[in-house]
Structures are given as structure tokens and as C-alpha cells.
Amino acid sequence: MSASERRQAPPAVAVSTVVFALHPPAGAFVGDDTGEFVEDPDGDAVTIWIPLVRRTRPPFEGTWALPGGPIEWNETLIDTALRNLLAAVGQEPGYLEQLYSFGGLERSAEAQRVVTIAYWALYSAHEDAESGAQAGSSDQNVAWFSADSLPRLAFDHADIVDYALQRLRLKTSYSTVAYRFLGEVFTLGQLRQVHEAVLGQRVDPANFRRQVLAQGHLVDTGETQKGTPFRPARLYRFRAGPDHEQRSTP
Amino acid sequence: MSASERRQAPPAVAVSTVVFALHPPAGAFVGDDTGEFVEDPDGDAVTIWIPLVRRTRPPFEGTWALPGGPIEWNETLIDTALRNLLAAVGQEPGYLEQLYSFGGLERSAEAQRVVTIAYWALYSAHEDAESGAQAGSSDQNVAWFSADSLPRLAFDHADIVDYALQRLRLKTSYSTVAYRFLGEVFTLGQLRQVHEAVLGQRVDPANFRRQVLAQGHLVDTGETQKGTPFRPARLYRFRAGPDHEQRSTP
């Protein structure tokens, strides 16, 4: 195909996923906003982390992009998202939902036009600890970046990340999706840190405690946190109800 | 291409739109759940109407389907939706938003697999009255059906309609989208009828009036309805704010 034939061909369709986690998996490569690896990321700051995959061919060769790729003929949309997440992160997410489809004319420049169906996913700290996954440790083309300092992204993937962050913030404000970042049991302080990371601002601990307990989604396990030098905090679990959030592809 | 090559080809991508209106445009063909035209639809029942297009080629030749089709190489997703709506309905909608992308393996049977990016649209009575559009009047392959009695639909379009009806109901419950069904000015009774049509149930007039006025979205125009034999009702308009609902394709 010539460049102009390629430009006028029917658009292809792909899936890309914005993954959010509270920290990179153990052993994962971590990058900074220049796209370079960093040795010792600041482990104290509570922030949202996103894994990216470095492109190994044109267009945008060498640039970081969202995990994703074309849909195989025998794969549903959500199966395509899961396959690419397994390859990039090494395990299934705790939450996966379709986000939006992006079909702008300029998104893939000279190459054949691609319409991308974007998903967003959450990984919990718990899943990481249980599986002991060393995601990305052997593949220098997968690294985790703080959502606050992403490198330049391929295509319109920066727009897709912004859109997913908006959805995450909105959904955190009205649903129970924030629990998906945590393990099966957690302290109110940990849950507050999730909200602080998502909203990008401090949350008053006393107000947060009162509001979250009033919502009735939490069950006091009767247990307390182990291995802390401070007064041990009470452990809660989420009162599981019908799962309204994870929606399979019809 | 042989049938098996076609089956294993990369999926194509198309746009389909679920259109909702409070009644068919003047002069439009109206069908019933057998897919046949009806002479005199019951004009009193407040219900939601949906335009469908009869397929003139396989697969599902002769079956009714959502307005839509493939994306041209130089067309954004929303432009594809608009082009197909102009062809089927004769005018631009008052509201248009991406709904969800459908990529199930069985949706197009033996033909090449198609991933459909679904949109939903609202048409207001006002637009119809102003333009005097005679949508569909010359094309027997476009007809309007009550959402309560749709004929058998091609592909998985019945699932897409169900999904859009869910979104319409949900969005009516928390946003001001219901106003998009009405003209610039309307009575509280008309607004209540929209809610009744969307929710499929009676709404108590006194409660509705109290709740909707308390929300502060309505402005009393000081005018009253003309041409009614009853006590003329007060006309309101929607207090326009930033439009959070209509979202262009990024």
C-alpha cells in the first residue's frame, strides 16, 4: 500500500488500557518524566502509578505508550485488553471497564488510521503481594510512571490517560471503586490515602472517617493492623454487594 | 475472500446510533413489533420512539437495524454518527453522546466481524416543529417504532437499544438530559410526561413539581401556554449552564 492508499483505507481497530495502581509491583522498572529509569522512586508520596510499554517499531518508535494492540479475530474486546495486561503487568486486574473509543483523524499520523477502544483497570496492592509478581523485571520495555510525571506518550495516549483520570476521580466520588486499590482488609488511613492519591489533595482524617463509616459499605473485622510501632489501627473490609462496576463486554 | 478468510480477517469498525424522541416526526412512517407499517399510532400514550432502517443487503437483509454504517477514512466517529442521522432522520439531533463499543464474536454471524461504536441521540419536539421535517416520508426503509414494541432487530442491535435505554433512564435520574426532549419552553406537565415516558411509570404530579422546582434548573418565563381549553399552564425554560452532557469525540 502506498502512503495515500494507507491513509484512505478503512480504519483498523485496537484496544488500549490505562492501568492505575497505588505503587509499582515489586521489581518493576520505574521511569520518570524524561522516560528514563529511576533507581529509587520516592516511596512515601501517595500517588497513582501507570505502566507504559515502549514502542519497538514505527510510528512513535522508542516512545512510551499504553499497553494494548490490535484485536485478534477470535477475541472479544475485553479479552484483548486482558491479554495485553497479562503481557505488560503479569497478572489480571482487580477491576476492568470500558472507558471510551477514540477515533480522531490525526491520532496515528501517516500510518493506517486506528480507532482505539480504551479500557481502564485497577490493580490492588493485595494482588501484587499474593502473587509475588515481578512484573516487567525482565522486560526493559515495560516501566511504571507516576501519573504526575509521565513521559511524552505516543499517539493521543496522553488524552486517553487524562480521560481515564477524570473517570477515576468521578467514580471515586460516587462509587466504591476506590476499594479496588486495596487488599481484602485495610485501615481507614489506607483508604483515605487512596482518596488523597486519586483526588491529588489532602483529605481531613476526622471528616473522612465520619463520612465513610456513615455510608455503610465497611465491615469492622474486629482485627487490628500488625507490625506497626504505633497504636494498631482497626482493619475493615468492604461489604460486598452486587458488583455494579465491572461490566463485561456485551 | 472465502468464508473462513473473512472470518479470520481483522475486525472492521462501524458506528450505530440509538435515537430517542417523544414522538415520530410529522409524516414519518410508523411501524409495529411485526415490522409492518401502521396507519394510526396511538397518539395519546406517552412513550419513547426509535427510528430504524431496513437493511437492503445481507446479512439480515430485510430486517430493521439502527441507523449507522462504516466509518469513512476522513470522518471522526461523531461525524459518522451525524451523517447517518441526517440520512435517517433528516436533521441534526439536540443531543449526541458516545454510548459503548460492542465487539462480541457472534454479532455479525458469517460475515466479516464488525466492532460497533454505539452512540445515543435525543431529538426534541421543538426541532421537529421548527424544521417541519418530513423525515422518512419518501423512504419506506426508514420507520419509527415505539421502544415498547420493537420488531426483531439485526445483529445485536436489540442489546444496544437495551443498553441505551438503561443509560437514558440512569441519566434522567441524575442529570438534566430529559429537557433535551422538549422545546425551548415547556410546562411542568410536559416535563413530567418525559419522565413518565423514560421511566415507563406514572409520576406523582405534586411530588414531581416540588422536586423539580427545588433543583433550581428551571426559570419561570412569566408566559403561559396558549390554545388550551383548560386553565393555561405556566411555561418554563431550562436555566442553561455549562453543558456537561454532550461530549465531542476527543
Helices (H), B90-230: 125-131, 157-174, 188-199, 205-214
Among chain B residues, CA nearest to A160 = B250
pLDDT for the residue B119: 98
pLDDT at A49 over 70: yes
Pairing of strands A49-54, A142-146: antiparallel
Q: Which residues of B touch A4 (CB under 8 A)?
A: none
Residue B38 identity (one-letter amino acid): V
Does A202 or A27 have the greater pLDDT score? Answer: A202
**Chain B residue with Cα closest to A119:** B101
Per DSSP bridges, beta strands B114-122 and B95-102 are: antiparallel
Q: b/e per residue, B154-164, with b = 16+ CB within 10 A?
A: bbbbebbbebb
What pLDDT is attached to residue A244? Answer: 41
Cite the beta strand spans of B34-184 per DSSP E: 49-54, 64-65, 68-70, 95-102, 114-122, 142-146
Query: A242 pLDDT band (50/70/90 cuts)?
Result: very low
Choose between A141 and A25: higher pLDDT: A141
Count CA within 13 A, CB hemisphere, residue B160.
33
Q: Which residues have C-beta within 8 Å of that of residue A62, sequence separation ≥ 6?
A: A54, A55
Window from A49-63, A214-228, B93-107, B144-158 with minimum mean pLDDT: A214-228
Is the CB of A10 less than 8 angstroms away from the CB of B11?
no
Contact A71 B10 (CB under 8 A): yes
Question: Which pLDDT belongs to residue A247?
Answer: 41
H or E segment and range at residue B12:
strand B12-20
Buried b (16+ CB within 10 A) or exposed e, A169-180: eebbeeebbbbb
Q: Are A15 and A73 in contact (CB under 8 A)?
A: no
Summarised one tens digit per residue, pLDDT across range B45-80 is 678 999 999 999 988 999 999 999 999 989 999 999
Under DSSP, the state recorded for B1 is -
Model confidence at A2, in pLDDT bands (50, 70, 90)? confident
User: How far apart (Å, rounded) are the C-alpha atoms in residues A119 and A122?
Assistant: 10
Least CB–CB distance from A70: residue in B10, B73, B77: B10
Q: What is the pTM of this model?
A: 0.87
pLDDT at B1: 62
Cα dihedral value A137, A138, A140, A143, nearest 10: -30
Instruction: From chain A, pick out residues whose CB is under 8 angstroms from the CB of B98.
Output: 100-101
B98 and A101 in contact by Cβ < 8 A? yes
Q: Which three cell numbers stand for residue B62?
A: 430485510
d(Cα A4, Cα B56) in Å, to the nearest integer? Answer: 31
- Which residues in chain B are closer than 8 Å to A104, comparing Cβ atoms? 76, 249-250
Q: Give the mean model confidence (pLDDT) for residues A154-169.
A: 96
Shortest CA gap B70–chain A (Å): 8
pLDDT for residue A246 is more than 90: no
- Is B100 in Cβ contact with A10 (below 8 Å)? no
B213 at interface of A, judged by CB pairs closer than 8 A: no
Q: Which residues of B touch A7 (CB under 8 A)?
A: 73
Q: How far is B151 from chain A (nearest CA, A)?
A: 20
CA distances from A118 to A81, A98, A104, B69, B114 (A): 9, 6, 13, 21, 17
Measured between CA atoms, how close is A75 to chain B, in angstroms? 7
> What is the reported pLDDT for A40?
60
Contacts of B29 (CB under 8 A, 6+ apart): B37, B136, B137, B140, B142, B143, B144
| pLDDT tens readout for residues A98-137 | 999 999 988 776 678 899 999 999 998 655 555 545 444 5
Residue A236 CA to residue B221 CA, distance in Å, equals 53
Contact across the interface for A11 and B249, Cβ inside 8 Å: no
Residue B34, φ and ψ in degrees, nearest 5: -90, -5
pLDDT, residue A200, reads 86
CB within 8 Å: A12 and B8: no
Segments of chain B with pLDDT less than 50: 132, 134-136, 242-250
Chain A, window 51-80: residues with a beta carbon less than 8 angstroms from a chain B beta carbon: 70-71, 73-77
Max CA distance (Å), chain A: 69
Least confident of A154-158, A159-163, A191-195, B224-228: B224-228
